[in-house]
Amino acid sequence: MTALKLHNTLTRQIEEVRPLEGQTIRMYACGPTVYNYAHIGNFRTFLFVDLLRRSLKFYGFDVKHVMNFTDVDDKTIRGAIAAGMTLQAYTEKFTNAFLADMATLHIQTPEQLPRATQHIHQVIALVERLIAKGTAYVSEDGSVYFRIAAFPKYGCLCHLDQGGLIHGARVSQDEYQKESFGDFVLWKKWTEGDGAVGWDSPWGKGRPGWHIECSAMSMEYLGESFDIHCAASDLIFPHHENEIAQSEGATGKTFVKMWCHAAHLLVDGRKMSKSEGNLYTVQQILDKGYTGRELRYALLSAHYRQNQNFTWKTMDDAKSNLARIDAWRSRFASATGEPVRDWNGLVSFEQHFDAALADDLNLSGALGHLFDLIRDTNKLMDGGKTIPQLATVWAKVDSVLGVGDLKHEIPAEIQTLVDQRAAARSSKDWAQSDALRKQIEALGWKLKDTPKGQEVSKA
């Protein structure tokens, strides 16, 4: 197999993935801030992380993958207060919605899913370490700030040229621009705007800043130095820059070896926003009649480091590409005929697929080779041959692509009727079997009785 290589934002180079220890890649991905339903732009990033996770496994690594839920920050507090809910009830609702969307998109569950509010103790301990080293200080407003002048490496990830910028005032909000870089908040003193949200600390009642939550949670589960940190590119500054400062400022060790960032998703050529009317949730895409696996395929179809422009054509292309794959899968699974001999197409496909994926996750290149394989093996099957190894080859491809089982997409309601019909048929109750068929067809599904049982598909 080829060695897997990824683009590292820290060095701006394509580098080979080599674990810091043993065979395990320890990887942290910034998770969602659970103040709203995640949109498809967010999920483009989480699908990139899922592709990375699956690819690491494809290349033989063990993966320890941690993704957090930001369930306390400026936005979640504002949202909970506006909704008249407790922070916990408010964030729980969006956390559960996020987990459901992950399942719809066949995103594998990371090994750990820590919530920020359950790691306040770790945050406080990290802030204490920074204060003890002189890289953080308690300000006159009662909050604790990181002193960027005490960390000369500050700006290493985003290549911030401090010379050209005026050192801004202190920043107490979680999100800000490069122009206003300055000492940033680690622990925010409680104010009335926080309502019932606050924890006791050596600096009085308050709450963590957003940035330090990720440093505390990642080091809790992955250690003070780990292999890969990934997220969307808009988190490079200030979030990831601040994570490096907080972590290395406390430990004196390199925090993360490789930083991997996914580019943006545009919709109809524009930045997504509610006011533009081009912001979609996963559910809104499903409501248009598409499936989770079609949306997965669509959002994986552009290279992760390039901005992707999402249109309905992107979805229709995904649908027809998947239909082509599905038809081929059904065909090779039921093909009967002479097994092909002296054909090296499979070996060459596996080499090409591997080489494309290893090249900074060029999945669309890899899928190009899959479609060549589909064309070539369809020709062989036209000639009455079978290719018995295709099931194994497909299983390997799908371990990365993750479009899953064909049956997976049959709604539970339809599956129940199909199961009832199978029972009716096995007890030779033909009248009931016909009635169930009509019911299934009325719901927009097609049935075919085959020697292997009922085949269900969309009408």
Q: Footprint of Zn ion on this chain (CB under 5 A)?
A: 30, 214
- DSSP class of 149: G
What 3-state class would DSSP assign to 194?
helix
CB of 188 to Zn ion, least distance (A): 17
Residues 9 and 256 sit within 8 Å (Cβ to Cβ): no
CB of 211 to Zn ion, least distance (A): 7
In angstroms, the CA 157 to CA 10 distance is: 5
CB of 185 to Zn ion, least distance (A): 15
CB of 207 to Zn ion, least distance (A): 16
Comparing CB distances to Zn ion, the nearer of 30 and 401 is 30
Backbone angles phi, psi at 196, to 5 degrees: -85, 0
In angstroms, the CA 82 to CA 80 distance is: 5
- DSSP class of 238: I
CB of 214 to Zn ion, least distance (A): 3
Q: Which residues of 389-400 are buried (b: 16+ CB within 10 A; e: fewer)?
A: ebeebbeebbeb
Comparing CB distances to Zn ion, the nearer of 33 and 172 is 33
Backbone angles phi, psi at 128, to 5 degrees: -60, -40
Comparing CB distances to Zn ion, the nearer of 157 and 440 is 157
Strands 144-146 and 185-189: antiparallel
CB of 235 to Zn ion, least distance (A): 6
Comparing CB distances to Zn ion, the nearer of 28 and 310 is 28
Alpha helices in 162-235 (DSSP H): 210-222
Comparing CB distances to Zn ion, the nearer of 30 and 258 is 30
Comparing CB distances to Zn ion, the nearer of 67 and 340 is 67
Comparing CB distances to Zn ion, the nearer of 117 and 321 is 117
CA distance readout (Å), 344 to 358, 375, 389, 397: 22, 15, 12, 18
Q: Which residues pair with 448 in a beta bridge?
A: 455
CB of 164 to Zn ion, least distance (A): 27
CB of 30 to Zn ion, least distance (A): 3
Comparing CB distances to Zn ion, the nearer of 181 and 259 is 259
CA distance readout (Å), 16 to 9, 144, 423: 13, 39, 54
Which class for 342: exposed (0-12), middle (13-18), buried (19 or more C-beta within 10 A)?
exposed
